[in-house]
Amino acid sequence: AAGTAFAFHTSIFSNHLNSVSPFATKLQRMGMLGRKRHFSKLVLKGSISSMFQSKGRTPEALKETAALLARKKFDLDIDAILAIEAERKVVQSKANELLHERNTKSKSIGMLKSKGEDVSSILEEVEGLKSQVQEYEAKMKDIEVKLEHMLLNIPNAPHESSPVGSDETENVEIYKWGEPKTFDFPVKDHVDVGAGLKGMDFAAATKISGARFVTLQGQVAQLHRALAQFMLDTHVEKHGYSEVYVPYIVNEETLIGTGQLPKFADDLFMTGHQDRKFYLIPTAEVPVTNLIRDTVLAQDELPIKYTAHTPCFRSEAGSYGRDTRGLIRQHQFEKVELVQIVHPDSSYQALEELTGHAEAILKALELPYRKMELCTGDLGFGAAKTYDLEVWLPAQNTYREISSCSNCEDFQAQRMKARFKSSDKNAKGNELVHTLNGSGLAIGRTLVAILENYQREDGSVEIPKVLRSYMGGKEVIEAAPSSSSSSKKPAVQAAS
C-alpha cells in the first residue's frame, strides 16, 4: 500500500535485511531490528531524528532524547519503546528457533528418502512448522506496523542553540530592519485598498469556491505576477539558485519524505485517481526537496540550491475564526520557495545565507520587517532551528509572518534516503545530506504588505521601485473611479 513504511519481499523470515537501508542500520543500533538479520527484509520509508536514532535503546539514552523532544512539547513514550523492543526480541527468538527446527528437519528428509525410509511424519511436522512460522510472521508484521506509527510521528529534535520556550510568545527578536512609515491619513487595510483599486474580489471567489479564496483583477493581478517574477529573478541571478518547475499534485510517499504525513493529513487537500491517493502540495518544499529522494550525490555536487514558484493549498484545519478577512490565511496562495541541499558541516551557515536571501527581497521592496528566532515550543515538526521574517502591516499595527526559514538537518534525508558519497576515502559508507527550506517570499502576504505600506490618501498605491520594470514602467496604481453602480461595501469573508 502506498505510504506504508515497510515493504515486504517474499517471506520476511527467509530473507536478509536490506543492507543498503541507512534507516535499518540506525534501527539496529537501537535494537529495534535483530542484529543477526535472520528473517527480515525491510525497505523503510520513514524515520525519526538522527539524535533519537543514535542514542540507542537503553532507558538512560531514551531519557536523554526525551528531554530534548520535551522542549518541543513532545512526550516520548519510553515505556512503549522498551515494550515494543521486548516484544520484538521474543518474536524474533521464537521465529529463529522455529526456522532452525524446520530447516534441520527439511534437510533430514532427503537423507531419509535416500535410505528408503518413510518421511510422511516428518513432512507433517515440517508443514506444521510452516504454519507456526506464518503465525510469527504475522506477529512480526504487527510489531513493524506499531514501529512505523511510532517512528513517523516523532518530530525532529531542536538544535541546542534554539531558545527554549513554550509558544510563540517566547520567540526571540534578533533585530528589526526599516522604520514603519507614518501616515497623515486614516490607514486602510489591504482589503479596502484592493477594493478601491477594483483589483480584489472575495465575493466572486466565494461564489466559485467558498470561503478563504480570492480573485485578483487588473493591475493588482499584474502586481501579484510581478512579485513572483521579481523574486525568481533575484534568487536565480543574484543568489545562485536553479529554478525548477515541479508537480503541484504529489503522492503519499513524497509527503512522508518531507514530514507532512502522517501527522498533518488534516491540513492537506486530498484527491484520488484510479484508486490512488494524491495530494495538492501545501508548499513547494515538498516536491522540490523530494527531487533528491532515493539518490546518492557526489560530495562535489553540494550545495544544491533550488527555487520554485508554485501555488500552495492548505485546509487551514484548526484555524477556524482566525484571519478570516483578507489574504493572510487562504486555502490557495502562491509562494516562491527556496530549498538547499548541503553538507552537514555547512548547514547552519546555509541557514543564515538562505534567510538572508529572503531578507534581501524585503529590503529591495523597502518593507520594514523583523527577524525572529523561534523557540523550541514553536518549532515545526521537522525543523531543528527556524527563523521567521515578519513584515510590518500598518493596518494591523503589528508584524506578521511572511517567511519561515528552517534547517531540518538530516531529518528529511532520513525519511527520503537522500545521501552523498564523501570525498574522504576513509569515510565509512554514504552520509545523509542536510536539507533547508524557506519562503522567498509568500507572494500573497507580500502583496498585502505593499498595498498597506505603499497606499496613498487618494486611494492609489505607489509601486515599489524594483517592480516598476515588471509593471510596464508604471509608478502608481490609480484608484478606480467611483460610481453609484459599482460602489458597494467590500466583501466580508465567511469563516471556514
Q: Please tell me which residue in 314, 315, 347, 406 is annotated as part of the active site.
A: 314
Q: Please tell me which residue in 40, 47, 404, 496 is annotated as part of the active site.
A: 404
| Cα separation, 171 vs 296, whole angstroms | 37
- Residue-wise DSSP of 355-397: HHHHHHHHHHTT--EEEEEPPGGG--TT-SEEEEEEEEETTTT
| Cα separation, 365 vs 470, whole angstroms | 13
Handedness of CA 371, 224, 330, 305 (dihedral sign): negative
The backbone region for 10, taken as left when phi is positive above 0, alpha when psi lies in -120 to 50, beta otherwise, is left
Look at the block and give the residue holding cell 569515510: 427
Strand arrangement of the beta sheet that strand 296-298 belongs to = 296-298, 419-421, 431-432
| Cα separation, 76 vs 103, whole angstroms | 41
Q: Is 401 a catalytic residue?
A: yes
| Cα separation, 452 vs 153, whole angstroms | 40
3-class secondary-structure state, position 23 = helix
Given a contact cutoff of 8 angstroms between Cβ atoms, the answer to whether 358 and 338 are in contact is: yes
Q: Which three cell numbers stand for residue 400?
A: 506578521
Q: Is 423 a catalytic residue?
A: no
Q: Please tell me which residue in 21, 403, 445, 496 is annotated as part of the active site.
A: 445
Instruction: Select from 88, 97, 81 the least CA-distant residue to 143.
Output: 88
Q: Is 106 a catalytic residue?
A: no
Given a contact cutoff of 8 angstroms between Cβ atoms, the answer to whether 230 and 470 are in contact is: yes
Q: Please tell me which residue in 88, 212, 293, 329 is annotated as part of the active site.
A: 329
3-class secondary-structure state, position 241 = coil
Helix (H) or strand (E) holding 222: helix 218-237
- In Å, what is the CA distance from 334 to each residue of 235, 248, 309, 382? 16, 11, 7, 22
CA angle 76/82/88 to nearest 5° reads 130
Q: Which three cell numbers stand for residue 493?
A: 469573508
Q: Please tell me which residue in 87, 401, 462, 478 is annotated as part of the active site.
A: 401
Q: Is 445 a catalytic residue?
A: yes
The phi and psi torsions of 437 (rounded to 5 degrees) equal: -150, 155
Contacts of 114 (CB under 8 A, 6+ apart): none
Q: Which three cell numbers stand for residue 351?
A: 541557514
Q: What amino acid positions are annotated as catalytic residues?
A: 314, 329, 401, 404, 445
